[in-house]
């Protein structure tokens, strides 16, 4: 049976890293990250990217009119498969839109104390070739070749520490504010539906295969 999982948590909770871990263990899962889609569009200077740019750079949410249709379109292509949706829904309008357009099995809340978030976010970077995610402070690639340079563990490409353009300290504060303002009713919505599961996001990298399968109920 196809499983539909939402991954929710503040910026820096490790939603992307946790999703990658899930897919290593259960490769049938398709991963959709609205943040990744927007970043890709920004990089390729598409129309969507141009529309999303000012919001992303300010640490604000891209308008629902753009985001909802994008998610609907992506989900319609993988309707019958298992998927993980990461970074969506982010407000109650998106929650309602998703309720109308998809069945959700679990809402995984990645919990992280606020003081750890900053270190995680300000240190993170990814491989431009394969997208593998690293952290300058907590999760470096194994082979270092310069002060801020490494070889990607996954694909062997040379990578340099480069902060995401929306990961500056100022934008981060704004994004955390946006998260905190919106999170409560969303979490409450899925709690009432009996879908809420809390995951201690400080040690998601140490979770065993069985523990992850348990969380996913697969
Ligand atoms: P993320 O990587 O999930 O933190 O997303 C990076 C940025 O993309 C956010 O700060 C927003 O500007 C935008 N974004 C991602 N997901 C959404 C969403 N569900 N609704 C609106 N904007 C989003």
How far is residue 109 from each of residues 91, 168, 184, 201, measured CA to CA in Å? Answer: 15, 24, 11, 9
**73-127 pLDDT, tens digit each:** 999 999 899 999 999 999 999 999 999 999 999 999 998 887 788 888 888 899 9
**Cis peptide leading into residue 89 (ω within 30°):** yes
Query: Cα(159)–Cα(144) distance, rounded to whole angstroms?
Result: 10
Provide the β-strand partners of residue 160. Answer: 149
Domain co-membership, 175 together with 151: no
Catalytic residue (choose from 72, 136, 164, 213)? 164
Residue 34 CA, ligand 1 centroid: distance in Å: 6
Q: What is the pLDDT of residue 164?
A: 75
**25-80 pLDDT, tens digit each:** 999 999 999 999 999 999 999 999 999 999 999 999 999 999 999 999 999 999 89
Domain co-membership, 93 together with 135: no
**pTM for the predicted model, two decimal places:** 0.85
Residue 91 located in a structural domain: yes
Identify whether 90 is a catalytic site residue. yes
Domain co-membership, 60 together with 78: yes
Residue closest via CA to ligand 1's atom 19 equals 88
Question: Taking the CB of residue 160, how many other CB atoms lie within 10 A of it?
Answer: 12
Q: What is the pLDDT of residue 38?
A: 96
Identify whether 21 is a catalytic site residue. no
What average pLDDT is seen over the chain? 93
In ligand 1, the atom with minimum distance to the C-alpha of 11 is 4
What region does 133 belong to: left with phi over 0, alpha with psi -120 to 50, or beta?
beta
Identify whether 191 is a catalytic site residue. no
Q: What angle do CA 68, 19, 103 make, to 5 degrees?
A: 45
Query: Cα(172)–Cα(162) distance, rounded to whole angstroms?
Result: 16
Cβ 87 under 6 angstroms from ligand 1: yes
pLDDT value at 167 more than 80: no
**172-199 pLDDT, tens digit each:** 889 999 999 999 999 999 999 999 999 9
Tokens representing 39 are: 């970043």
Identify whether 114 is a catalytic site residue. no
Q: What is the pLDDT of residue 32?
A: 96
Residue 119 located in a structural domain: no
Q: What is the pLDDT of residue 158?
A: 97
Residue 158 located in a structural domain: yes
Q: What is the pLDDT of residue 29?
A: 95
pLDDT value at 129 more than 90: yes
Query: Cα(199)–Cα(15) distance, rounded to whole angstroms?
Result: 11
Provide the β-strand partners of residue 133. Answer: 126
- Are the beta carbons of 26 and 81 closer than 8 angstroms? no
Residue closest via CA to ligand 1's atom 11 equals 61
**134-150 pLDDT, tens digit each:** 998 889 999 999 999 99
Number of structural domains found in the chain? 2
Confidence of residue 169 (pLDDT cuts 50, 70, 90): confident
Domain carrying residue 137: 124-162
Q: What is the pLDDT of residue 114?
A: 79
Domain co-membership, 61 together with 98: yes
């Amino acid at each position: 049976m196809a499983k539909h999982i939402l991954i929710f948590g503040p910026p820096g909770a490790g939603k992307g890293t946790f999703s990658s871990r899930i897919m290593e263990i259960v490769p049938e899962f398709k991963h959709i990250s609205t943040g990744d889609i927007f970043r890709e569009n920004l990089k390729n200077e598409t129309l969507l990217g141009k529309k999303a740019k000012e919001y992303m750079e300010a640490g604000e949410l891209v308008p629902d009119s753009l985001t909802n249709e994008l998610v609907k379109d992506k989900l319609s292509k993988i309707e019958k498969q298992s998927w993980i949706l990461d970074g969506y829904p982010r407000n109650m309008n998106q929650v309602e839109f998703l309720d109308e357009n998809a069945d959700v099995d679990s809402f995984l809340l990645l919990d992280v104390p606020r003081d750890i978030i900053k270190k995680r976010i300000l240190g993170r970077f990814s491989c431009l070739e394969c997208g593998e995610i690293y952290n300058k402070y907590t999760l470096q690639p194994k082979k270092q070749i310069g002060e801020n340079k490494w070889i990607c563990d996954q694909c062997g490409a040379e990578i340099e520490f480069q902060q995401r353009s929306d990961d500056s300290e100022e934008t981060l504060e704004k994004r955390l504010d946006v998260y905190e303002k919106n999170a409560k009713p969303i979490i409450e919505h899925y709690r009432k539906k009996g879908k809420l599961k809390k995951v201690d996001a400080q040690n998601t990298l140490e979770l065993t295969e069985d523990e992850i399968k348990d969380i996913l109920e697969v």
